[in-house]
Amino acid sequence: MLLLRAVLLLLVLPAHGQDSVAEGPGVLLPLPKGACPGWMAGIPGHPGHNGTPGRDGRDGTPGEKGEKGDAGLVGPKGDTGETGVTGVEGPRGFPGTPCRKGEPGESAYVHRSAFSVGLESRITVPNVPIRFTKIFYNLQNHYDGTTGKFHCNIPGLYYFSYHITVYLKDVKVSLYKKDKAMLFTYDQYQEKNVDQASGSVLLHLEVGDQVWLQVYGDGDSYGIYADNVNDSTFTGFLLYHDTN
């Protein structure tokens, strides 16, 4: 049986070989359809090569504008740059138009008011202005030696002070302004001793105001003393005048 099949196969092969004869050099004619039996599968071919890359596609349509992002962190301060080269001096400009003359300024006159006076003898009368008749300074004559009062001629702020030598009795002295006691000083005399009492104050005065010293009280308190080696003084001067 096997021999018979081999003979039949040999008879068939020449016929298939004639059908596959080349028609021309290097060209093979295809076998008739259905000529190859199902049990004769071909050898698998080699994988093909990659094709040539295609061209870039067209740009897409622009998208919608996105939301504003958060602010970034502040960067470090940069270094100071170098000083630039000084430019060339420009041409001199034209003279300006003269303006209207300004208003007159405040007078340069310096306001002065000051005095410094002292006692020449002991005081024995209370409750009246003390007359300081030893004149150290009274150039403006704003202090009246006949009454013992300072008269304000320039409104402003004044400084007053006094230094009293105390001897034989106690002292109660007060500084007055316009019949009103503004400052009080009391010193108790120590027997067989010379004592001192003093006071100072700032006062605002108007033109016509008067300032003076006097012993106050009804008792025996008028021990204000002065001689050739002991002084009792009264001083005042203008610090600054009113501008209104």
Taking the chain (244 residues) in runs of 10, the rounded mean pLDDT of each run is 65 49 48 54 78 83 83 85 85 84 71 95 86 96 96 97 91 93 90 88 97 85 85 96 87
Other CB atoms closer than 10 Å to residue 125's CB: what's the count? Answer: 11
pLDDT of 7-43, one tens digit each? 666 665 554 444 444 444 444 555 555 555 555 667 8
CATH for 114-241, among 3.20.20.120, 3.40.190.10, 2.60.120.40, 1.10.150.120?
Answer: 2.60.120.40
Q: Which secondary-structure segment (H or E) carries 143?
A: strand 143-144
Percent of the chain scored above 90 by pLDDT? 37
pLDDT at site 12: 55
Residues recorded for the chain: 244
| Cβ partners under 8 Å of residue 175, min gap 6 | 160, 162, 181, 182, 183, 199, 201, 211, 212, 213
9's tokens: 């196969």
pTM of the model: 0.56
Instruction: List CB contacts of 79: < 8 A, sequence separation 6 or more.
Output: none
